[in-house]
Chain A
Amino acid sequence: MHVRTHDRHLPGVLALSIALVAGCSGNDSSGSADTGSVSTAAPVSEPAGTGAPGSTTATTGTTTKVEFEPTTLTMWAGVTDSEGVDAFRGIVDRCETDNPWLTIDYVGKDDMSTALSAAIEAGNPPDLVQADFSGELSGIDAGGLIEPIDDLFARDGLDWGAFVPGGKRLVDFNGRHFGLPLSLDSVGLFYNQDALTEAGIDAPPATFAELLAASEKLLVVNADGSIERVGFVPDVDGSYSLFLTQLFGATLFSDDGAKITITDTLDQWVAALQWQKQFYDLMDTDQFNRWADGLGSYDSADNFFITGQIPLYFEGSYFVTWPDRFGEGKPENWGVVPMPGPDGVADADQVSLIPSGNWFMIPTGVDNVDASWEAVKCMALASDEIAAFEKVYGNIPANMAALDTYEAAVVPEIPAIQTFIDLARSPAAKLPGSAVVVGALSDEITSLILDYRRGDLSDDDLRGALEDLQARYQDELDLELGN
């Protein structure tokens, strides 16, 4: 009982992975031809010598199926709840059937990051991992925690066209790929058409100007000054204010994670934060705080979107089930549109912001990289099973074939999901950068955003503070990377 404080409340991306959603009920898909055909495309591999399962030789051109001795691989997965695990079994079973030599020992791990760090440091990692480590890629790269799969990928003649572009970017750091993608989160603007109509607005806003105008029209202030309804704010209690700065091209890091790029995009940062501030400037700060403080519980019928207290709400795809699940059909008329992009116009093909996603990966130091790779490859390509799994779990499949199946099954039930599917498919899909200081810098810059929004800082102060952060974090990054 030495110390009672355990870091089980790790913030950030973990929160998103917890905020999962049951998809919809409906037809379970069964096996398809897709999976098999892709995995048989794997070229040669000689059966191994004694004992250990085979190691492969990269001989291009041949197309013999990889042969292995019977092997049991331990997989750690971030999916631990019974419903999710049952659906995940579909993917596992499929790969065990396709690869008779393979047995997968499924181990659910909450707090994956901590457990995996310990296991890797102790030299005893699981054979493969399914997790959501978005934003941690630079650290994974610097620590050499995960095997880059590029050589294996090329050897087996796989094609990134099998995955949506955002899926490739999800596992990409500095040109190397750390596994194969499973799913993407995507975010869009939920609108309550009933409230819009009442305020005299016919269609959801498609430009920055329309968004601001709609917010002004939707705002309802009582006679005593208290707020009844807010139009749009960049975030209510979520963590989207930092995320949304990407709309203006503001960035934190260079692609290789070695440079802080705040001052390179200083004008974009200032523009992004000025843009966010104008929505709060429509209201009295104290009254807004009182209104926000009085909001009902998020996971209840008193959710602010359901009650109509916020008719324009920026949120992830999982939220599509909220109106039915908690609101008993309220609000009645609602939908989702993409957020306007850098030029102020909404266009799914132009701007798609992906906060995070899930993928399969091979930890460094596993007994048999080739065997782990076969399992990773098979699972990431098991499209029908992935589609069925994501229906339960609520994210957007990263596998193209799975996404088609998913689209056909889910859109008829929840039309609004179409926007998220389009966003995830977008060739321009964008993911936040990664560097080994990402968490701490995000925390500090979020504090700064809050200060600026409250009116504690002038624009010049803001520039100064951003420049300070740039200088300090570049020093930290240099120390950390040994530059």
Chain B
Amino acid sequence: MNAAITETRPPVATHRYRQPLGRRALLLVGRHSVLIALALMFALPLVFMVLQSLMPITQAKTTALWPSSIEWGNYREVFDRIPLATYFVNTLKVCFFSTIGTVVSCVPVAYAFSHLRWRGRTAVFVLVLSTMMLPYQVLFVSQYEIFTSLGWINSILPLTVPAFFADAFSIFLLRQFFLTLPAEVMDAARIDGASEFGVLARVVVPMARPGIMAVAIFQFLFSWSDFFGPNIYLADEKSLTLAVGLVRFNTALAKTGESNLTMAASVVFVLPILVVFFFAQKVFIEGVTLTGTKG
């Protein structure tokens, strides 16, 4: 069984090397110029944000696109004016627990909906899906009531604990990834005497790493940028998250027109997400192909 998983084939499509060098170079240039043009289009807001974040205040009030002088001091001022470190730690705490919780709780549930056979599976799965079909606005007040009776208001518990009890979105996504895994590998493991938990931990999880990673990224990003939850559930200034802190900072800046600082704060807010995304996608895309394939 192990052989089946780790069996590696050279990830090389040999036909590429048959093309003449000149044509290859041309294709390469063509491909990159298309991609660069597209990527620029997608990254445009970030470019604008960074450019404006570096402008002096007098220029930030105009519609100029290029900074007349580069003011790195804007970033220092943002750090001086809001307790970024505190917010950052608070946000990381929420992100960390909710992401761990989501992965740990959703993987077994998704496994039960994909590779365990039991009566009523489809019906129960539709039930899982149905919990996504009501908008948050009609549910949150009742949830607030539950959290109040649990004594969780003014703590990060409402933002983290529910993540340990599997949400429909993540279960659904994981299940779809698990479905593409070949059943024979799992059957082989079962014949070798592995328990269902053993099959999940040693066979399914390693093979479904990209899917699990995607779910983790989504949860992380959701917790990172969630404004609604922290604003409702947190009271203490020192317990606030970046998303809430940023909105308050921007309200103050809207009065003074310091849009350069607004942009600098936004860059500080968005940058960690992009860093996380960059490394996460590198790990799951390049990692997988290097360690081999399944099937």
A interface with B by C-beta (< 8 Å): 1-8, 18-22, 74, 80-84, 107-111, 114-115, 117-119, 121-124, 296-297, 299-302, 325-326, 328, 394
Asked if B27 lies at the interface with its beta carbon under 8 angstroms from chain A, I say: no
Q: Tell me the smallest distance from the CB of B59 to a CB of chain A, in Å.
A: 10
The answer to whether B136 and A6 touch across the interface, beta carbons within 8 angstroms, is yes
Surface stretch bound by A, among B108-116, B225-233, B287-295: B225-233
Q: Is B248 an interface residue (CB 8 A)?
A: yes
Cross-chain contact A82 with B249 (CB below 8 angstroms): yes
A301 x B63 contact (CB < 8 A)? yes
Closest B residue, CB atoms, query A19: B254
Kindly list the 9 A-B residue pairs having the minimum CB-CB distance in the complex, ordered from nearest: A81-B252, A6-B228, A122-B148, A118-B144, A81-B251, A1-B222, A3-B136, A122-B145, A80-B248
Contacts of A114 in B (CB 8 A): 232
For A109, what are the chain B residues with a Cβ–Cβ distance below 8 Å? 231
Contact A326 B257 (CB under 8 A): yes
Distance, CA A118 to CA B232, complexed state (A) = 8
Q: A1-B219, A1-B222, A111-B231 are in contact. Are A121 and B251 (CB under 8 A)?
A: no
Q: Contacts of B228 on A, CB cut-off 8 Å? A: 6-8, 111
**Within 8 Å of chain A (Cβ to Cβ): is B1?**
no
Residue-wise interface mask of B (221-250) relative to A, using a CB-CB cutoff of 8 A (1 in contact, 0 not)? 010000110011001110000001001110
Check if A8 sits within 8 Å of B251, measured CB to CB: no
Q: Which of B57-116 contact A (CB under 8 A)?
A: 58, 61-63, 81-82, 102
Q: Mark B120-159, 1 if CB is under 8 A from A, else 0.
A: 0000000000011001110011001101110001000000
Shortest distance between the CB of B139 and any CB in chain A (Å): 8
Q: What is the minimal beta-carbon distance from A295 to any residue of chain B, in angstroms?
A: 11
Given the complex, which residues of B lie within 8 Å of A74, measured CB to CB?
235
Is B255 in contact with chain A by the CB < 8 A criterion?
yes
Q: Please report B residues at the A interface, Cβ cutoff 8 Å.
A: 58, 61-63, 81-82, 102, 131-132, 135-137, 140-141, 144-145, 147-149, 153, 167-170, 218-219, 222, 227-228, 231-232, 235-237, 244, 247-249, 251-252, 254-257, 259
Partner of B167, one of A1, A301, A302: A1
Q: Is the Cβ of B252 less than 8 Å from the Cβ of A301?
A: no
CB neighbours (8 Å) of B219 from chain A are 1
Q: How far is the CB of A9 from chain B (nearest CB, A)?
A: 11
A-B contact pairs, 20 of them (CB 8 A): A1-B167, A2-B132, A2-B136, A2-B167, A5-B137, A6-B137, A19-B254, A20-B251, A22-B255, A81-B249, A81-B255, A108-B237, A110-B231, A111-B231, A119-B148, A122-B144, A122-B145, A122-B153, A123-B148, A325-B61
Is the CB–CB distance between A299 and B257 below 8 Å?
Answer: yes
Residues of chain B lying within 8 A (CB to CB) of residue A107: 235-236
Tell me if A1 and B170 are in contact (CB < 8 A). Answer: yes
